[in-house]
Amino acid sequence: MSKQEHKTDRKKESGKKEEETGTGSKSAEKGKKIKEDLDKLMDKIDDVLEENAEEFVKNYVQKGGE
């Protein structure tokens, strides 16, 4: 149990830090960083997305479960 509490505390602290740094010119920097991350993310999605999207989706048929 004490381990879980510890985790929660740590999360709270890191949340606070984000708020503190999110001011002034730093927030512009942060915005730029988010944009870069997003671009990177979209590239990454293209890397992993199955090639034949239409065919794949059409063929994803399961038997009904519970």
Q: Which residues of the shown chain bind other proteins in the complex (CB under 8 A)?
A: 1, 4-5, 7-8, 37-42, 44-45, 48-66
Residues in CB range of 15: below 8 A, 6 or more apart: none
Nearer to other proteins, 16 or 41 (CB): 41
In the chain, DSSP assigns E strands to none
Least Å distance between CB 11 and other proteins? Answer: 8
Least Å distance between CB 4 and other proteins? Answer: 5
Least Å distance between CB 62 and other proteins? Answer: 4
